[in-house]
């Protein structure tokens, strides 16, 4: 079985299917089009020989089982990826293949060039086979490369029964990009000792720390008076909104932070004199500092509100997910196993914190410790997204090696 051709073919086929999620939707999944890939995966998993293949109508997760082929008592493992793509054009995705990449600028189309000067992550892929789009859409390697790797690894294990392994479960779900996919994940039904999301970036990434995350929505009610007679009467909702933003710590924003530094991030603002709305996210790796950040937002709102007879700001503050390290650090077995698998394949291991979250952030708190492994993609969520087929092959080999080492 040629892992190179299999992973390449699968990613290209999956990428052509529009699966963009919609954060404004309240359905599960958030978009019906995600079923196009989910249903395809049901058929494909059955075709390659997996058992207990099911599409759960309640949570839109496809799950399947590769039964153990060893008599040893070994932990059961899960591998998870998401089908949806991010908030960027995903209509008519046309993947294109650059074989033996020359290390120079990539002419994606007449209008779009991926320049080495802008993307220094390109030259290290010289000599490899890159998959991109024409620059008008994203590629969707986040996370369709992860899907391709898991399916190909399962097919390989089925075709090579000499590789002994314990019970393996796979899951492909919706709406990870809008932070809701894992909310309804059936951890009890999945029933593995630990799992991995195949949803990371470049080769070697291994992540078991994620942000603690919250969202704040400020709804501001103003009072619109004719400006000629507004003195002492008008309350401009946009001015109140600006007061709030100016009181936030100005250096603690994504564009000025890195590593384990947290931030406040205003995502959107809209409004008139009469009413305004601001949506922001709050992130930090440290739970105590995370709580202080939320308290800071509440404090700013309270200080502004007390200046008015009728407080203009209504704050809706909700937690989204927590740092999965709180769970995983209690038993580092899945991290140690993944690290051993990479090292046995001569893959340099890069253990880094996720400056974001994965489905594993929530699944870990459901009782299944779930670190994140590289899937190979670069420049995700935009027109310059790409993945090297060689990276996908290495990720596939890591899955196979994890299964093998787990049974030894």
**Residues with a known catalytic role:** 84, 176
Q: How far, rounded to the nearest angstrom, does the alpha carbon of residue 174 sit from its chain's CA centroid?
A: 11
Question: Phi and psi at residue 166, in whole multiples of 5°?
Answer: -85, -170
SS3 194: strand
Residue 225's nearest CA partner among 217, 216, 234 is: 234
Closest to 371 (Cα-Cα) out of 401, 404, 337? 337
Cβ-contact 260, 237 below 8 angstroms = no
- Give every CB contact of residue 134 below 8 A, 6+ residues apart in sequence: 94, 96, 108, 109, 112
> How far apart, in whole angstroms, are the C-alpha atoms of residue 79 and residue 149?
10
What one-character-per-residue DSSP string does 333-402 give?
Answer: HHHHHHHHHHHHTTPPPEE--BSS--HHHHHHHTT----EEE--EESTTSTT-EEEHHHHHHHHHHHHHH
Give 214's strand partners: 282, 319
Continuous segment of H or E residues that includes residue 54: strand 51-55
Rounded Cα gap, residues 394 and 5, in angstroms: 13
SS3 173: strand
**Angle, CA 63 vertex, CA 61 and CA 69 arms, to 5°:** 165
Residue with tokens 């890591």: 398
Return the sign of the alpha-carbon dihedral for residues 285, 286, 291, 297: negative
Contacts of 239 (CB under 8 A, 6+ apart): none
């Amino acid at each position: 079985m040629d892992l190179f051709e299999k992973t390449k073919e699968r990613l290209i086929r999956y990428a052509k299917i529009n699966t963009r999620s919609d954060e404004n939707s309240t359905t599960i999944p958030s978009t019906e089009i995600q079923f196009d890939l989910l249903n395809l995966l049901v058929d494909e998993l059955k075709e390659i020989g997996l058992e207990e293949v099911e599409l759960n109508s309640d949570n839109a997760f496809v799950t399947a089982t590769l039964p153990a082929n060893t008599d040893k008592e070994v932990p059961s493992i899960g591998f998870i990826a998401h089908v949806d793509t991010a908030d960027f054009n995903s209509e008519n995705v046309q993947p294109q293949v650059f074989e033996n990449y020359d290390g120079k600028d990539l002419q994606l189309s007449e209008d779009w060039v991926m320049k080495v000067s802008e993307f220094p992550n390109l030259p290290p892929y010289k000599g490899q086979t890159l998959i991109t789009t024409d620059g008008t859409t994203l590629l969707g390697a986040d996370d369709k490369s992860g899907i391709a790797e898991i399916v190909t690894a399962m097919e390989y294990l089925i075709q090579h029964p000499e590789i002994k392994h314990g019970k393996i479960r796979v899951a492909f779900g919706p709406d990870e990009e809008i932070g809701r996919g894992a909310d309804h994940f059936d951890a009890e039904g999945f029933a593995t000792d630990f799992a991995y999301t195949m949803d990371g970036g470049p080769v070697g990434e291994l992540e078991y720390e994620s942000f603690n995350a919250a969202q704040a929505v400020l709804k501001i009610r103003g009072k619109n008076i004719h400006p000629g007679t507004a003195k002492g009467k008008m309350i401009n909702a946009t001015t109140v909104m600006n007061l709030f933003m100016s009181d936030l710590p100005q250096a603690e924003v994504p564009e000025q932070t890195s590593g384990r530094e947290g931030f406040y991030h205003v995502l959107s603002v809209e409004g008139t004199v009469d009413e305004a709305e601001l949506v922001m996210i709050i992130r930090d790796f440290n739970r105590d500092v995370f709580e202080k950040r939320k308290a800071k937002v509440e404090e700013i709102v309270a200080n502004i509100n007390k200046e008015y007879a009728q407080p203009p700001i209504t704050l809706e503050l909700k937690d989204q997910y927590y740092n999965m390290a709180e769970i995983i650090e209690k038993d580092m077995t899945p991290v140690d196993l993944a690290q051993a698998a990479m090292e046995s394949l001569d893959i340099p291991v890069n253990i880094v914190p996720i400056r974001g979250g994965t489905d594993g952030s929530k699944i870990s708190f459901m009782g299944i410790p779930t670190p994140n492994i590289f899937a190979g993609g670069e420049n995700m969520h935009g027109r310059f997204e790409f993945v090297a087929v060689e990276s996908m092959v290495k990720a596939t080999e890591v899955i196979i090696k994890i299964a093998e080492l787990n049974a030894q």
